[in-house]
Amino acid sequence: MKKLFFTLLSFTFISARAQTVDDIIQKYATNMGGLEAFNNIKTAKLTATFSAQGTDLPMIIQVINYKAARTDLDAMGSKVIRVYNNGKAWQQNPLAGISTPVEVTGTQLSDFKQQSMIAPALMDYKARGHKVELQGQQDVEGIKTWKIKLTDKDDGRITYYYISASDYTMIKSEIEREIQGQKVNTETWFSDLKDFNGAKFFMTRSQKINGETFQTTTIKNIELNVPIDEKIFDMPK
């Protein structure tokens, strides 16, 4: 009996070790509806609420998959706009002293570009040229997860993803960002997974620094394959 127990224990250990990073990503992608379901989406319009410092602000995100993305945030009468359009980006943010549209470059450009891709970056890492590495298992608030390191092809930045080892749901991600001139490690926690025509989206994303939530995006509705005027992505002259 003891011999059988150790045999089974060894088998379990070997099975767990045998999983590759691509095995885990594939199971995660399947749980989200599959990469093909996301790639079949031509356009998307997301109606959301952005919450920070006790204030809820209406937000609309419009995407032409793999080409363009625009975010409009109504901040108490001020219009905050972020746009990516086929390799270039611009923004307007009166709250940050940017009252007229200005071009965006560097890591900000990479951030804006990510929003133009409806499929999550980890799911589509091969096509985008990113590199991934499995870094073992880690406990995240009582949940056993697989930790995966992704290195961005465009700017070399590293994102860590934590995927549940039981059902392959994304729990959170971590990335170092520059906020008010300082580099800080920010966490994004994912919740409220919903299905839209076979593709699943997390309706709530909470960002934390040192365990404290500093902003949350709550998606109210997602419309897929709707008409979007491409002129809204042009930078005003």
Q: For 30-62, what is each residue's pLDDT tens digit?
A: 999 999 999 999 999 999 999 998 899 999 999
Burial of 76 (0-12, 13-18, 19+ CB in 10 A): exposed
Please list, in sequence order, all residues whose beta carbon lies within 8 angstroms of the beta carbon of residue 140, skipping any fewer than 6 positions away.
162, 171, 172
Q: How many CB atoms lie within 10 A of CB 52?
A: 14
According to DSSP, residue 225 is labeled S
Q: What is the mean pLDDT of residues 79-97?
A: 94
CA–CA separation, 111 and 109 (whole Å): 5
Q: What is the mean pLDDT of residues 198-226?
A: 96
- Domain boundaries along the sequence of the chain: 34-222
State the pLDDT at residue 18. Answer: 67
The half-sphere exposure of 166 on its side-chain side, counting CA atoms within 13 A, is 6
Nearest to 151 by CA among 121, 181, 179: 121
Second CATH level (architecture) for the domain 34-222: Clam (2.50)
Q: For 151-165, what is each residue's pLDDT tens digit?
A: 999 889 999 999 999
Q: What is the mean pLDDT of residues 123-147?
A: 97
Q: What is the mean pLDDT of residues 212-220?
A: 96
Structural contact between residues 92 and 106, judged by C-beta atoms closer than 8 angstroms: no
CA angle 25, 222, 203 (to 5 degrees): 55
pLDDT level of residue 112 (50, 70, 90 thresholds)? very high
pLDDT higher than 90, residue 11 = no
